[in-house]
Amino acid sequence: MATVPATAKVVVIGAGIVGNSLVHHLVELGWTDIVQLDKGPLPNPGGSTGHASNFIFPVDHSREITDLTLDSMRQYKEMGVFTESGGFEVARTEERMEELRRRMSSAKAWGIEAELVSPAFVQEKVPFLDPDQIIGAFWTPSVGVVDSLRAGTIMREKALASGHLTVLPNVEVEDLGVEDGRITKVVTDQGDIEAEYVVIACGVWSPKIGDMAGVKIALTPAVHQMISVGPCPQLAEREGEISFPIVRDMDTFCYERQHGADMEVGSYAHRAILHEPEEIPSIDQAKLSPTEMPFTEDDFDPQLEQALELMPELLGAEGAEIRYAINGLLSLTADGSPILGESEVKGLWVSAAVWIKEGPGVGRAVAEWMTHGHSEIDISHSDIARFYPHEREREHVRARTTESFIKTYGIVHPNEQYESDRGVRWSPMAEAQRALGAVFYETVGWERPWWYESNSGLVEKYGDAVMPREHEWDARWWSPIINAEHLAMRENAGVIDLTAFSIFDITGPGALSSVQRTCVAQCDVAVGKVIYTPVLDAKGGFLSDLTVMRLGEDHFRVVTGGAHGRADLQWFTRHLDEDASLHDSTEEISTIGLWGPRARDILASLTPDDVSDAGFGFLTNREIEVKGVDAPVLASRISYVGELGWELYVPFAQAAQLWDAVLDAGKGHGAVPVGIGVYGTTGRLEKGYRAYGAELDAERTIVEAGMQRPKVKAADFVGREAYLAQREAEPAAVLCTLTVDDHTSASGAKRYMLGGEPILTREGGTLTDGHGHHPYVTSAGSAPSLGKHVLLAYLPVDEARIGNELAVSYMEELYPVTVGSIDATPLLDPHNERIR
Amino acid sequence: MTNVLVCIKRVPDFSGEVLLAEDAQSADARFVGFTLSNHDSCAVELAVQVASATDGTATVLTVGSAESVEQLRSALGVGCAAAVLVEADPVALGPADVAREIAAAVRDHEAGGAGGGPGGGTTYDLVLLGNDAADSGDFQVGIRLAHELERPVVTGIKTVTVADGTATVHGDGAEGRETYAVPLPAVVTVLEGGVEPRYPTITGRMKAKKIPVETRTLMQAPTGSGRMRLTLPPAAPSTAEVLGEGPEAAGTVVDLLQKLGVGR
């Protein structure tokens, strides 16, 4: 047995599916001097991998999770540990059938073979399922099971064979050494290892290990109950581990998965049963393994009945007994995504909250990220840097996972809001907003008014122009008031609370070179200019898009969306020059947007400063004095809604004054408070403005997004080389704006897409872009000023023709769409005259 | 027709390291949960077999916390038809208390209708218990119960069959296999190993949920066990012997398993 070495290039903590995959891919990418530790024995050290049910359904609504799953399936197959069984997601209710239709959208968008089938079809493949219990099913032939322990062993042993890996089972990590914000060593019960890199890949124990370095890893161990019933004669007569398709009984939140002669019944229907990482038993203390906790029967009893209902002859068979039952621990996060990437401690990486279906894919992606600074599959939704401080607290994770556990198999609307742990961050004018009947939605803790009930009268005023939605699903988490506010803004003016912006001030002699190196756009501009810029990774994929204001020779203010602001903060911090510093002003400066044809009149009535076009040009910023506000206001003339107006930056203490002053002054001009429903969707879509996280991500380029400028600055910046090459090459896809020509469904009801739907030929044929991907709707929303529903989608180059007639599939019906724009040219006001 | 009463105890499901509660009056089961001890599980299995073979009924009883209903349901799930909980703080009870309370329940049930109580005049021909509890290990309740009920008792038994009012019971004694013919009513304590306890079926488990549990209170204040505190024995030295590596070691492993008697 190997002894603990004194030094290593990288120490990987954990020998579950993630750690094993990681060491394999690190070796593949040329890493040497790797040490892998686990406190348990091999091949099953006792973590979640050891008791996983090991089945994989590839279709998920998230592209990122689907891509990681598909990559993992490919790797499992290469290792010869994948058995294809096929899988059904069965529906007992019409509501679920509708969700399965929506699932078809995702299947088509991600190019995964699937179909909706009848109960008889299911029964033919699963003869012991009572077809009278279901009304239909979603059939995925590529579903299968894997041997995750074997896969881990294969990957680990491959890495071992290279001679670059030392594996140390039965070694427990007791502490991590950090000096000057950098990981230095791993302290184990059998000696210290000095290391340049450390990866925490130990699943449910990760928070405990992270705490040793002061890094909060926001996952919680949670129970997933599973029983195994057998021997079932119908299964016993078949050879091998699995010969019948896996059944997910979606409406009861259960699954039935054959395992030899037994049927495993797993449940996501019980109350959320959460544990603390520190209170997981040791191997000696555990009954079976540390993550197989004692079964709590009462929680499972209702599922027994439902499972028996679905498969009475099998589960009620003579001699079929419940011979194994566990409360298995797995990792849950507040937003359901894994936790990957480099922590705030340099060299300390995390790869946790990963399930079997994503394990090998995550291992590859994280290894690539550690090697190149980026991965082939965009994993930004899983970036550990995404969490704001309150989101890393255990209370938050517990509250959110308690709420979301029951939604594991649930029908979750894309705009659905959490109910728990709300009201964490309020803008200074929240009280006034509540008085206006603001309906608050949450973004990274911020409570943001999505619309104001006080504007409900506008719905009547604008009538059908608000594009009312008659179908409950389309109208859920939505209000026609959003579109009414939009029209009022375009008619007069709107006042928008943008407090949730993340704001960083970069100062010092190295400020300019810091932002120059980080941003694509030329930042060496006159003081008082505003720059809109993409931020790229080294391979030329989007990391963000944001604005930068030059407030002084050595002072730049970066303003970015709240949702992604935390990751941007880490990126800018990591790319600071030595003689530059960054201050996070997010919680000090509030932002209020004032836009619309009357915006200038309103602002002029409040300030002695010159706000004429000549005196205050587009893309400039300046401090102004505003009546009734006891602090200077930094006004910045830009717009994300395509209207004349300003973003007004003001200290938190004076923000409520400014809000009241602008709304008061605006009253006579017809200005109304306007919510994020307009700012984030309708206003920007009419203008074709791209959003990071929707249109823009690390797998997309400036050229594909139609955002290239005539020139590229001479100064070097991250991704420059790749960007130059992209400009020379033919793009593989082109971001287009489409409008829906007819919303009428077969039932006669008008339907409105919400995003994620596949774009097909007019006849319903598949389209494929130069990446081999299929086009899908990246953003969808009303364009009330156009009277159209607008969709953004990356199309194959030869389909990107204005006037091209295509179709969008929504809930398994085709709706005609027409391409309206094949670059960033907005459908509304293409020459941007309104902004002037 | 033999009516069997089987008495069980809720005990921690330890298989590795044993943890004690802070007051050292009980074991801490938070990592392992609770179960029936193996002796109890075999007693339940025998009770169900005897009841089934003679068209009688098996009733399960425990003296313990309200949570012990979980163990009663387990027994109901594998074929017991009725359940009795004598609710009490198990830490406060001694073996004499437990024996007295079981005896009281037996007498009350036999008296049946008179007191209007449940049990309906059921006479328990056979009372089975696990030989000893996995946590407290007092080895006393069975014998004390027999004394209270003035019935014969055989301890350390592995199999039980009943015919013509006589129980034929087998056990392994120091001198070899022992067989007793015991006139009923009688008390028998069971050691694991004679029968393989069945697992519940889904239908059994569902049926068990619907059976009402008769709840009783203590007849009199417990006198306790006189136990001061529990202590853990010093950890047994762990000695691992490497039998070999890779496929070549398979033969050695098979030999060992057979030597241990777990190979088939």
Per-residue pLDDT of A770-812, as tens digits, reads 999 999 999 999 999 999 999 999 999 999 999 999 999 999 9
pLDDT at B111: 86
Per CATH, which fold does A502-584 belong to? Alpha-Beta Plaits (3.30.70)
At the top level of CATH, the class of A730-836 is: mainly beta
SS3 content of chain B, % helix, strand, coil (to 5): 30, 25, 40
**Pairing assessment for the beta strands B166-173 and B176-183 based on DSSP bridges:** antiparallel
A296 neighbourhood in chain B, CB within 8 Å: 33
Q: Which residues of A are catalytic?
A: 224, 255, 545
For range A733-744, the mean pLDDT: 98
In terms of C-beta density within 10 A (0-12 exposed, 13-18 middle, 19 or more buried), how is residue B121 classed? exposed
pLDDT at B239: 75
pLDDT at B234: 87
Confidence of residue B118 (pLDDT cuts 50, 70, 90): low
Say how many C-beta atoms besides its own lie within 10 A of residue B258's C-beta: 11
pLDDT digits (tens, 9 = 90+) for A215-273: 999 999 999 999 999 999 999 999 899 999 999 999 999 999 999 999 999 999 989 99
pLDDT digits (tens, 9 = 90+) for B168-208: 999 998 889 999 999 999 999 999 999 999 999 999 999 99
For range A384-398, the mean pLDDT: 97
Contact status of A321 with chain B (Cβ, < 8 Å): yes
Contact status of B217 with chain A (Cβ, < 8 Å): no
A301 neighbourhood in chain B, CB within 8 Å: 205-206, 209
pLDDT at B17: 86
pLDDT digits (tens, 9 = 90+) for A516-546: 999 999 999 999 999 999 999 999 999 999 9
Query: What DSSP string runs through A597-652?
Result: TTHHHHHHTT-SS--STTTS-TTBEEEE--TT-SS-EEEE---SSSSSEEEEEEEH
CA distance A283 to chain B (A): 8
Would the CB atoms of B209 and A301 count as touching at under 8 Å?
yes
In A14-52, where do the E strands start and end?
34-37
Report if pTM > 0.80.
yes
pLDDT at B114: 45
Would you state the structure tokens that stand for residue A415, as one six-digit string? 């705009």
pLDDT digits (tens, 9 = 90+) for A4-27: 999 999 999 999 999 999 999 999
Contact status of B215 with chain A (Cβ, < 8 Å): no
Instruction: Assess whether pLDDT exceeds 80 at residue A441.
Output: yes
Instruction: Assess whether pLDDT exceeds 90 at residue A73.
Output: yes
B200 neighbourhood in chain A, CB within 8 Å: 321-322
Sign of the Cα torsion A400, A375, A352, A534 reads: negative
Would the CB atoms of B199 and A315 count as touching at under 8 Å?
no
Contact status of B28 with chain A (Cβ, < 8 Å): no
Cα dist from A605 to A540, A629, A662, A668, whole Å = 45, 13, 9, 11
Element (H, E) at A534: strand A530-536
Under 8 Å CB pairs connecting chains A and B tally to 67
pLDDT at B173: 85
Say how many C-beta atoms besides its own lie within 10 A of residue B73's C-beta: 21
Contact status of A281 with chain B (Cβ, < 8 Å): yes
A281 neighbourhood in chain B, CB within 8 Å: 31-32
Cα dist from A163 to A29, A32, A156, whole Å = 14, 8, 11
Contact status of B198 with chain A (Cβ, < 8 Å): yes
CA distance B149 to chain A (A): 35
Is there a cis peptide before residue A131, judged by omega within 30 degrees of 0?
A: no
Contact status of B203 with chain A (Cβ, < 8 Å): yes
Residue whose token pair is 């994989």 = A56
For range A557-578, the mean pLDDT: 96
Shortest CB distance from B32 goes to which of A229, A287, A322? A287
Query: What DSSP string runs through A425-485?
Result: B--TTHHHHHHTTEEEEEETTEEEEEEEGGGHHHHHHHGGGG----SHHHHTT--HHHHHH
Could you tell me if A444 and A388 are in contact, meaning their C-beta atoms sit under 8 angstroms apart?
yes
Contact status of B205 with chain A (Cβ, < 8 Å): yes
Could you tell me if A586 and A502 are in contact, meaning their C-beta atoms sit under 8 angstroms apart?
yes
Would you state the structure tokens that stand for residue A510, as one six-digit string? 């190295």
Would the CB atoms of A285 and B19 count as touching at under 8 Å?
yes
- Residue A793 is which amino acid? A
Contact status of A276 with chain B (Cβ, < 8 Å): no
Would the CB atoms of A321 and B200 count as touching at under 8 Å?
yes
Phi-psi label, residue B224: left if phi above 0, alpha if psi -120 to 50, beta otherwise? left
pLDDT digits (tens, 9 = 90+) for A600-635: 999 999 999 999 999 999 999 999 999 999 999 999
Instruction: Assess whether pLDDT exceeds 80 at residue A1.
Output: no
Confidence of residue A349 (pLDDT cuts 50, 70, 90): very high
Looking at residue A414, the DSSP 8-state letter turns out to be: T
Would the CB atoms of B203 and A308 count as touching at under 8 Å?
yes
Shortest CB distance from B199 goes to which of A301, A316, A323? A323
Instruction: Find the residue in A nearest to B73 (Cα).
Output: A297
Would you state the structure tokens that stand for residue A217, as one six-digit string? 């890893």
A277 neighbourhood in chain B, CB within 8 Å: none
Confidence of residue B120 (pLDDT cuts 50, 70, 90): low
- In this structure, what is the dihedral angle of CA atoms B29, B30, B33, B34, given to the nearest 10 degrees? 40
A502-507, strands of its sheet edge to edge: A530-536, A542-552, A555-560, A502-507, A581-584
Q: Which of A279, A503, A270 is nearest to A402 (CA)?
A: A270
Residue whose token pair is 């079809």 = A121
Q: What CA–CA distance (Å, rounded) separates A246 from A531?
A: 53
Could you tell me if A88 and A245 are in contact, meaning their C-beta atoms sit under 8 angstroms apart?
yes
pLDDT at A2: 66
**Considering only residues 197 to 236 of chain A, which have any Cβ-Cβ distance to chain B shorter than 8 Å?**
229
Q: What CA–CA distance (Å, rounded) separates A711 from A374?
A: 26
Could you tell me if A740 and A830 are in contact, meaning their C-beta atoms sit under 8 angstroms apart?
no
Would the CB atoms of B70 and A298 count as touching at under 8 Å?
yes
Contact status of B211 with chain A (Cβ, < 8 Å): no
Instruction: Find the residue in B nearest to A315 (Cα).
Output: B202
Residue whose token pair is 């540990």 = A81
Q: What CA–CA distance (Å, rounded) separates B53 from B47?
A: 10
B203 neighbourhood in chain A, CB within 8 Å: 308, 316
B134 neighbourhood in chain A, CB within 8 Å: none
For range A26-39, the mean pLDDT: 98
Instruction: Find the residue in A nearest to B16 (Cα).
Output: A284
Assign domain A7-195+220-333 to its CATH architecture: 2-Layer Sandwich (3.30)
Over pLDDT 90: what percentage of chain B?
Answer: 72
pLDDT at B115: 46
A87-91, strands of its sheet edge to edge: A115-117, A136-140, A87-91, A246-249, A254-259, A262-267, A219-230, A321-333, A292-293
For range A329-341, the mean pLDDT: 97
Would the CB atoms of B202 and A229 count as touching at under 8 Å?
yes
Domain ranges of chain A: 7-195+220-333, 424-500+588-684, 502-584, 730-836
Name the superfamily (CATH) of residues B4-236.
HUPs (3.40.50.620)
Would the CB atoms of A321 and B199 count as touching at under 8 Å?
yes
In terms of C-beta density within 10 A (0-12 exposed, 13-18 middle, 19 or more buried), how is residue A503 classed? buried
Instruction: Assess whether pLDDT exceeds 90 at residue B227.
Output: no
Q: A338 vs A406, which has greater pLDDT?
A: A338
pLDDT digits (tens, 9 = 90+) for A655-699: 999 999 999 999 999 999 999 999 999 999 999 999 999 999 999
Crossing angle of helices A359-372 and A17-28, in 10° steps, is 40
A315 neighbourhood in chain B, CB within 8 Å: 202
Instruction: Assess whether pLDDT exceeds 60 at residue B119.
Output: no
SS3 per-residue string spanning A357-381: CCHHHHHHHHHHHHHHCCCCCCCHH
Confidence of residue B116 (pLDDT cuts 50, 70, 90): very low
Neighbouring-strand partners of residue B53:
none
- The matching CATH number, chosen from 3.30.1360.120, 1.10.150.120, 1.10.10.10, 3.40.50.2020, for A424-500+588-684 is 3.30.1360.120
Looking at residue A382, the DSSP 8-state letter turns out to be: G
Q: What CA–CA distance (Å, rounded) separates A548 from A570?
A: 16
Q: B114 vs A545, which has greater pLDDT?
A: A545
Mean of per-residue pLDDT scores for chain A: 97
Question: What is the total residue count of chain B?
Answer: 264
